[in-house]
Structure 1
């Protein structure tokens, strides 16, 4: 198990090819789940946990990993199931999302699989546990569920979506009322976070759930406009990990289309620890921002909504 992620650093060539690698794991029973390998730092057998006063009910305790205290979240409980038992026999997946490191307690970890984003579909509409799904795929004739980790983390530690007064004052200098920003993200929570932050600076927001929907919407809008879409939609804020078409592929498609290419693109992703900056440049994105800091996002939107200059420098502060 310790070596299951040894080759992760050699897999970055998958980025930009509309492919991903999933680490498969189980919670309770036969159902398999997946997490993007690029979100995972390490997989370990569950160590001894330290109790934490007034902790969230889903947090089983604190693990001390390589000099860092990491909260261990029972992923079964967090998705509405029963708590995992005999946790000393279980495993933790140490991951980095949205600039934070946490560990997910799971029953067992299986292996890594390589699939195409086109084979990853939005979840079926329904209630209950499906509300925690961001996507599903089929592997070996079995359904694999990809959890909306951002929703889980937001329920445990809600993210501040308020834009500071200084940014709001700056936004009042120029009106965004006649312009639209397209936001593409497969996570309901992430879409709403972005919407709240950007609506507060006066922006009109159009929301879509994945790269394919974004491209279809943009091409329909360009047909409606009858020309360069950037006159009405000067900016797109896109996640990278999305079903059917990832953000890199979406950006490349946008920049290759004569009617779309003048629109600025901000890649806004929870891949805060690992990302391929060379690929960000290659596909022509104008900026890269790690989720989720409302002031950083609002400032970047203000910058790219009112500039006619091409991107000169990617955001070096995303880490």
Structure 2
């Protein structure tokens, strides 16, 4: 466990070097089934043995209870139970990962924490067919040098299914008679659904992609078509919203590609990510994003996009 803790500290120091290199570090762990799971090290604050957990009434299924961590009370989730992994669903887990998602700190109980590996995002793929109880909770698959597959968990879906998504309240539409178009990309089905709902409430037309490489391919196609037809791309594309972590190509590389391509000049790029640290914000600025929003606050998302999408009235 000390080896993992020291490696985590090294990983924290190297985050800004990794971001934008189209590489990621994954903390590997097991849930007692023989499968290997992974989670982005960027989101892991520490690893420890399972502490004493205080049971609390009326907790959602899969939430073991609460712990006090340096003065903060945080919920602790048993991943095997949430993923409904066969007979392991009754086990609590011997190790705990403390994670931070969208400014929310949580404990995840796992069977055993293994090690950290570094992979290229281009070798991280969207899952085509995922079987077993984990289906629906896996956002990506990658392969280790020994040929063993690693299932990277979609924590946004885990949190949404455990605690509920929360209703999106009233959002004033942009107004105006001109059509506004947004292209967004996110590998999480939950995030795509929430983003689409906010954009619908704003009265914005939108298209999306499910990973960075797909997004870049489609954006290049849009730019190429506009160039061939002599049409200003800005008439068909007002803003691009990107996630940071995505299979095939991360949001930092995608943003850099967009900003280095003169065809996208004048089209703002906003990063929308559960990686809410200052280091990640700084990296976003370094590659040229025009805004950085931590997931998921519908009002903040709408308020950030609104001034970038409002078109001046024709006089």
- Secondary structure of the structure 2 residue equivalent to 1:28: coil
Structure 1 residue 62 displacement after superposition = 1.0
Q: 2:165 aligns with which of 146, 159, 174?
A: 159
Over 3 Å counting, the alpha-carbon distance change for 1:84 and 1:68 in structure 2 is farther
> Does structure 1 residue 145 correspond to structure 2 residue 151?
yes
Over 3 Å counting, the alpha-carbon distance change for 1:59 and 1:29 in structure 2 is same
5+ long unaligned stretches in structure 2: none
Encode CA deviations 1:132-159: one digit per residue, 9 max, x unaligned: 1100000121000001110010011123
- Secondary structure of the structure 1 residue equivalent to 2:9: coil
- Secondary structure of the structure 1 residue equivalent to 2:264: coil
1:76-155 pair list within 5 angstroms:
76-81=80-85, 82-83=87-88, 87=92, 90-125=94-129, 128=132, 129-139=134-144, 140-155=146-161
In the alignment, the residues of structure 1 paired with residue 104 and residue 276 of structure 2 have an alpha-carbon distance, to the nearest angstrom, of 9
1:245-284 pair list within 5 angstroms:
245-273=249-277, 275-284=279-288
C-alpha contact (below 8 Å) 1:237/1:268 kept by paired residues: yes
Q: How many residues align?
A: 302
Alignment match, 1:290: 294
Over 3 Å counting, the alpha-carbon distance change for 1:222 and 1:31 in structure 2 is same
Structure 1 residue 30 displacement after superposition = 1.6
Alignment match, 1:7: 10
Encode CA deviations 1:49-73: one digit per residue, 9 max, x unaligned: 1011011121011122111111111
> Does structure 1 residue 186 correspond to structure 2 residue 187?
yes
Alignment match, 1:26: 30
5+ long unaligned stretches in structure 1: 309-319
Alignment match, 1:313: none
Structure 1 residue 274 displacement after superposition = 5.5
Q: 1:35 aligns with which of 12, 35, 39?
A: 39
- Secondary structure of the structure 2 residue equivalent to 1:80: coil
C-alpha contact (below 8 Å) 1:122/1:135 kept by paired residues: yes
Structure 1 residue 127 displacement after superposition = 5.8
Alignment match, 1:242: 246
In the alignment, the residues of structure 1 paired with residue 158 and residue 68 of structure 2 have an alpha-carbon distance, to the nearest angstrom, of 22
In the alignment, the residues of structure 2 paired with residue 241 and residue 56 of structure 1 have an alpha-carbon distance, to the nearest angstrom, of 28
C-alpha contact (below 8 Å) 1:97/1:270 kept by paired residues: yes
- Secondary structure of the structure 2 residue equivalent to 1:218: helix
RMSD: 1.9
Alignment match, 1:174: 176
Displacement over 3 Å in runs of 4+: 82-87, 125-128
C-alpha contact (below 8 Å) 1:39/1:274 kept by paired residues: no
C-alpha contact (below 8 Å) 1:44/1:92 kept by paired residues: yes
- Secondary structure of the structure 1 residue equivalent to 2:67: strand
* Superposition TM-score, scaled by structure 1 size: 0.89
Over 3 Å counting, the alpha-carbon distance change for 1:274 and 1:152 in structure 2 is farther
Alignment match, 2:206: 205
- Secondary structure of the structure 1 residue equivalent to 2:252: helix
Alignment match, 1:232: 236
C-alpha contact (below 8 Å) 1:182/1:235 kept by paired residues: yes
* Superposition TM-score, scaled by structure 2 size: 0.90
Structure 1 residue 124 displacement after superposition = 1.4
In the alignment, the residues of structure 1 paired with residue 53 and residue 14 of structure 2 have an alpha-carbon distance, to the nearest angstrom, of 32
